[in-house]
Amino acid sequence: MKPAAAFGGLGGPFEAPQLKTMNEFLRAAVEEAERGLAEGGIPIGSVLVHRGRILGRGRNRRVQRGSVVLHGEMDALENAGRRSAQAYRECTLYTTLSPCAMCSGAILLYGIPRVVVGENQTFLGEEDLLRSRGVAVDVVQDARCRELMAQFIQAQPTLWAEDIGHGDDRINS
């Protein structure tokens, strides 16, 4: 079995050491999603990684903070603090769910060149936009990411529809 296949079909030019690191960072994003769910929020987590080190961790906190913008990716960026443009251009953003239009806009604004997505089956965000602008988007289809979202959407469909800013027409269940 090739190393990429061992990671759940990631594919692409990744060698085993990178997969181990990627798995570690995706696991950190999943931990953030689980924390968010435990707090009564939406289970989407993210981490911003620069040169093998997590700069910022985040989770969707729209419910917890009454925020209209605190998606997991936005929270991770906020928690990373101010960084140079060069630092962002050397980062990878790990997120448990495909980034929405707002989060994709932030990825493009800061020039983050790579995004690793835990899953895009329950929600397909702006991956095509990111790719069209030169961002490498790797989708893992992680079972835990899918499970967290599927359970949440089943339990809280109205809150989920509110979170993505649309009716349920973009929800893939």
Which residues belong to the active site?
73
Q: Which residues contact 55 (CB under 8 A, 6 or more apart)?
A: 48, 49, 80, 81, 83, 87, 91
Q: Which residues contact 134 (CB under 8 A, 6 or more apart)?
A: 113
Judge whether 102 and 63 are in contact, CB under 8 Å.
no
Judge whether 83 and 111 are in contact, CB under 8 Å.
no
Return the DSSP state at 171: B
Judge whether 55 and 49 are in contact, CB under 8 Å.
yes
Judge whether 85 and 61 are in contact, CB under 8 Å.
no
